[in-house]
Amino acid sequence: MTFFPTEIMCVWMCLSVFLLWMRSGGCTEKANTSDLMEYTAADFYEKLHSGKMMFIYFEHQVSPTVSLFLVELEKSVEALQDYGLDMSRSSVPVSSLKIYLTLCLKLSSLSSPSTSSAILREEVKYVHTDADLLAMEKAARGKKDLVLGYVRSLGTQEHRSMMETAYVYGSKYQFILITGGPVLKHLGVDELSHSSQVWFLHCRLHSSYRSPMTSERCPLTRMRKPLSTLSLHSFLQLMEAPLSEVYEDPSSVQPPVFPYQQTPQVFLFARPATEHLDRETAVTLAWRLRGLALLVLVHRYMLDDFTQEVTSCFHAEAFLLILLEYVKYLTLHDFNEVLDLFTNEEEGEEDEDEAVEEDSHVGELDDEVAASLYENRGDLLDMDSITQLTSENFHAAVAQSSLTVVLFYLRWDAVAMAFLSSYIEVAERLEGSEVQMCAVDCGEWTDLCAAQTGGSPPIPFRPITPELTVENLPSFLSLGKALLLLFVGEEEDEIGWRQNQALLEEMRGVVELGGGKMERYLACWIHLGRTPAGMSVLGSYLGSMPPLPALVLTHLPSGDEIYQYPSNTPIGAPAVLQWLQRVEDGKESPAGMLGDDSWPPAHDFYDFLKVMDMQEPESAQQRTPSAHDHYEDVDEATVEGNDVEEGTGSSSSSRLSAPDNNANLHSEL
């Protein structure tokens, strides 16, 4: 598992790990050393050039978690050496390293002590050539689907998103990273485009299911949205059975749930007579639409009268499509028609994204709200769906409707504008309803805005062991209790789902069993699939990503310590309570700490004074007490000469006036 080295990496622990690989012969040569070696800078560079394969970690300061890992790591030195890996420790400053080194070993074939296997879990593989990819596809055929990522550069947001997703989905899909070159060509991407991309390679399903696919390659689906954790997450979800069949009225079909809210649903209506054929068509279409839309096949004989009526208005033989979001009825003649509907829209978005990528300014904004608005600055907000209120029309407009919602906003306020765009989306959906959606530009109608105050926020329902989400966290934090927080991963299958349910059952058990003792704790959980932000929380707590599920105790009133329930101990109510007791008794050592409460500026300000002092050393200096009288009188400039004439600007014409070279003071004679 590729995260492993990074698990022990946390900035505040100041430790970095490198996996190093030297190409020439290192892969086959067996190491002579039998113990962990320590390198000085000189040793290190020598080794680096010796062509040997090494596993080196750089240490600086060591946290409890990391030190544990190091103990384990040292145990596995021998095993690693069997595979031609030298393990060494170096105190070379990481910043002095400029070479990116790669590890070349069939790590998958390693069977090693527990630590090593943890390192080597194959969550992200690295592929250079198309042949390598083909080999992987063959190996994965019928077993696993592949998720192939191309990131512009390592260490970026996109890279991070891939890694985080691999962490959650790693056992379900094989994640692959490519660096470009021939593989990109195979995928039909121009390397020069420089934009990160993700493809889903459908290798698991039986090939006969994919009718148009004839080659030995697994069929590909390209992710069209820009790469981010959330988009990747929903993309992968969409790769799951893109077709579902219903025997009910479309209106009773549940709207898409997280993370598909934004995904259109396509309903295909089948006729009993051609049911078999229709399904085949639906399967094919579903494949073509995967990643873009959810396809639902509706069996017509189950439709109610109303829908029958609607559908009969169209040619009864043909399919009808209804796209939720904006409902559209289409008679299906050709797949491409349907595809165009989505792809055109997508392409448009893509163009914009690319344009944004080229803009050097985007990276300059360090405020995420401002930055996301700035990215979309090319779009004009379509305000047609909302009523713009002014001092003149305010009362009349509000009186017009039984329910009026008014948003007050300031154009220069990024937060307000971010909210405005969501507001417009809501307004578009509510168009034609009773609700009148209005907005007031407070930059213009200052008097209207002066009188307004905000409402009170809603209070959510509080279950005993709530699932913490982005939306509800504030209300739970306001309880001021310590958090007994369980992190669970995305369920891979039915079994995984049941496991998670059982865990939650145990959590409830902790609360019930603990009774009054549990009053000071809020037992809660985060589902990393639904709340991907939880991943970095967990990473930040422990300085590493532990195996899931992970149970931690944090936000203790007594201090900033974070405790981790031992990951090798099954989570059971009595054991958890005992562990809590040990924590209370001070018998547990913390696994991490909460961050500092002070939030100093993230960036330096631009020190104009410094610049002035550098470029015009005197200009920004205070005057000395004796010299300041002069200033007031400068504007009293008058002719210094005796006489009168039209200015010549030349001191040589001194016959009437005294020469004076001071341009400000001299007479324009």
Partner 1 sequence: MRCKSKRSFTVMDPSLPCYILSFVLIGCVQSSLGDPQQHNETRHHEYCVLGAGPAGLQMGFFLNKAKRDYIILERNSGPGSFFNKYPRHRKLISINKIHTGRQNREFNLRHDWNSLLSDKPDLLFKRVSGEFYPPADSFPAYLSVFSKELGLKVRYGVDVGRIRAVLLASGRRYILTDQHAADYTCSVLLVATGLWVPQEVEFVGSDLVEGYESISTDPEDYRNQAVLILGKGNAAFETAQSILGSASRVHMLSSSPVRLAWQTHYVGDLRAVNNELLDTYQLKSLDGLLEARLEKVVIAPRKEQSSRRRRSGVEKREKKGKLFLTLNKYLQNRGEKNDSGVAGEELPGFHYDNFSMRKPYDRVIRCLGFRFNFSVFDGSACPPNSENAKGRLPGVTAWYEGTNTPGLFVLGTAAHSRDYRASAGGFVHGFRYTVRAVHRVLERRRHGAKWPSTRLSTSQLQSWILKRVGEASGTYQMFEVLGDVILLRGSHCEYLEEFPLQALPRLSSLSGHGVSDHGLIVLLMQYGKTKIDFLGRSRAETDWTKAWKSNFLHPVLYYYDTPPTDMKLRPHGWPLPRPKAIHHMVEDFLTEWDGPVSHIQPLRRFLEHAVQTDLRSFYAESCFRFSLTHRKPPLFCQHGYLKQQGVAHDRQPWQNVDVAGLTPAETDSDASGADPALPNYLSGAGASVSSGLKLDL
Shortest separation between residue 395's beta carbon and partner 1, angstroms: 16
Shortest separation between residue 242's beta carbon and partner 1, angstroms: 22
d(CA 144, CA 123): 12
- Name which of 275 and 428 has its Cβ closer to partner 1: 428
- Name which of 217 and 279 has its Cβ closer to partner 1: 217
Bridging pattern class, strands 173-178 and 124-127: parallel
* Using rule CB under 8 A, residue 473 touches partner 1: yes
- Name which of 54 and 332 has its Cβ closer to partner 1: 54
Of residues 27-66, those binding partner 1 (CB under 8 A) = 58, 60
- Name which of 121 and 288 has its Cβ closer to partner 1: 121
Of residues 507-536, those binding partner 1 (CB under 8 A) = 531, 533-534, 536
Shortest separation between residue 374's beta carbon and partner 1, angstroms: 5
Could you tell me how many residues of this chain bind partner 1 (CB under 8 A)?
A: 165
**Which runs of consecutive H residues, i.e. helices, occur in 359-413?**
368-375, 394-400
Q: Pull the structure tokens for residue 288.
A: 């073509």
Q: Pull the structure tokens for residue 349.
A: 């978005």
> Is residue 666 a contact partner of residue 660, using CB atoms and an 8 Å limit?
yes
Peptide bond into 259 cis (omega under 30): yes
* Using rule CB under 8 A, residue 635 touches partner 1: yes
- What is the enclosing helix (H) or strand (E) of 564? strand 561-564
Of residues 424-443, those binding partner 1 (CB under 8 A) = 443
Shortest separation between residue 268's beta carbon and partner 1, angstroms: 27
Q: Pull the structure tokens for residue 289.
A: 């639409």
> Is residue 223 a contact partner of residue 199, using CB atoms and an 8 Å limit?
yes
The single residue among 599, 614, 661, 662 that binds partner 1, judged by CB under 8 A, is: 599
The single residue among 236, 373, 440, 583 that binds partner 1, judged by CB under 8 A, is: 373
Which DSSP string do the residues of 463-489 spell out, in sequence order?
-SSPBP-TTTHHHHHTT-PEEEEEEE-
* Using rule CB under 8 A, residue 214 touches partner 1: no
* Using rule CB under 8 A, residue 662 touches partner 1: no
Shortest separation between residue 100's beta carbon and partner 1, angstroms: 5
The single residue among 97, 203, 238, 528 that binds partner 1, judged by CB under 8 A, is: 97
* Using rule CB under 8 A, residue 326 touches partner 1: no
* Using rule CB under 8 A, residue 487 touches partner 1: no
The single residue among 497, 517, 623, 651 that binds partner 1, judged by CB under 8 A, is: 623
* Using rule CB under 8 A, residue 622 touches partner 1: yes
The single residue among 370, 398, 406, 575 that binds partner 1, judged by CB under 8 A, is: 370
* Using rule CB under 8 A, residue 628 touches partner 1: yes
Q: Angle, nearest 10°, between helix axes 494-514 and 573-584?
A: 50
Buried/exposed 270-307: b ≥16 CB within 10 Å, e otherwise:
bbeeeeeebbebbbebbbbbbbbbbbbbbbbeebeeeb
Bridge partner residues of 562 (DSSP): 592
* Using rule CB under 8 A, residue 229 touches partner 1: yes
**197-201, strands of its sheet edge to edge:** 124-127, 173-178, 145-150, 197-201, 220-222
- Name which of 272 and 647 has its Cβ closer to partner 1: 647
Bridge partner residues of 322 (DSSP): 267, 329
Buried/exposed 435-473: b ≥16 CB within 10 Å, e otherwise:
bbbbbbbbeebeebeeeeeeeeeeeeeeeebbebbeebb
- DSSP category for residue 381: P
Of residues 110-139, those binding partner 1 (CB under 8 A) = 122, 124-128, 132, 135-136
> Is residue 424 a contact partner of residue 383, using CB atoms and an 8 Å limit?
yes
Shortest separation between residue 542's beta carbon and partner 1, angstroms: 8
- Name which of 67 and 446 has its Cβ closer to partner 1: 446
The single residue among 212, 255, 432, 458 that binds partner 1, judged by CB under 8 A, is: 458
d(CA 388, CA 411): 14
* Residue whose C-alpha is closest to residue 244's, from 221, 264, 265: 265
Window 177-196: contact mask with partner 1 (x via CB under 8 A): x-------------------
Pick the piece of the chain touching partner 1 (CB under 8 A) from 69-77, 226-234, 297-305, 581-589: 226-234
Return the C-alpha torsion angle 154, 158, 160, 163, nearest 10: -100
The single residue among 31, 70, 105, 238 that binds partner 1, judged by CB under 8 A, is: 105
**592-593, strands of its sheet edge to edge:** 521-527, 482-488, 550-554, 561-564, 592-593
* Residue whose C-alpha is closest to residue 647's, from 633, 632, 663, 630: 663
- What is the enclosing helix (H) or strand (E) of 539? helix 533-542
Shortest separation between residue 112's beta carbon and partner 1, angstroms: 14
Window 143-172: contact mask with partner 1 (x via CB under 8 A): -----------xxxx-xxxxx---------
- Name which of 52 and 288 has its Cβ closer to partner 1: 52
* Using rule CB under 8 A, residue 358 touches partner 1: no
The single residue among 568, 606, 617, 652 that binds partner 1, judged by CB under 8 A, is: 606
* Using rule CB under 8 A, residue 310 touches partner 1: no
The single residue among 388, 639, 658, 660 that binds partner 1, judged by CB under 8 A, is: 639
- DSSP category for residue 205: S
Shortest separation between residue 529's beta carbon and partner 1, angstroms: 15
- Name which of 76 and 228 has its Cβ closer to partner 1: 228
Pick the piece of the chain touching partner 1 (CB under 8 A) from 74-82, 302-310, 398-406, 620-628: 620-628
Using DSSP, state whether 129 is helix, strand or coil.
coil
Of residues 536-595, those binding partner 1 (CB under 8 A) = 536-537, 539-545, 554-555, 560, 594-595
The single residue among 188, 515, 625, 650 that binds partner 1, judged by CB under 8 A, is: 625
> Is residue 146 a contact partner of residue 25, using CB atoms and an 8 Å limit?
no
Pick the piece of the chain touching partner 1 (CB under 8 A) from 8-16, 265-273, 295-303, 497-505: 8-16
The single residue among 188, 255, 432, 454 that binds partner 1, judged by CB under 8 A, is: 454
* Using rule CB under 8 A, residue 226 touches partner 1: yes
* Using rule CB under 8 A, residue 451 touches partner 1: no
The single residue among 388, 429, 445, 513 that binds partner 1, judged by CB under 8 A, is: 445
Q: Pull the structure tokens for residue 610.
A: 């410094």
The single residue among 273, 313, 383, 620 that binds partner 1, judged by CB under 8 A, is: 620
What is the CA angle 23-25-30, rounded to 5?
120
Shortest separation between residue 630's beta carbon and partner 1, angstroms: 9
Q: Pull the structure tokens for residue 318.
A: 């043909």
* Using rule CB under 8 A, residue 223 touches partner 1: no
Shortest separation between residue 656's beta carbon and partner 1, angstroms: 7
Q: How distant, in Å, are the alpha carbons of 228, 245, 250, 266, 434 from that of 327? A: 28, 19, 12, 10, 19
**Which runs of consecutive H residues, i.e. helices, occur in 368-413?**
368-375, 394-400
Q: Angle, nearest 10°, between helix axes 335-358 and 275-289?
A: 10
Which DSSP string do the residues of 448-467 spell out, in sequence order?
HHHT----PPPPPP--SSPB
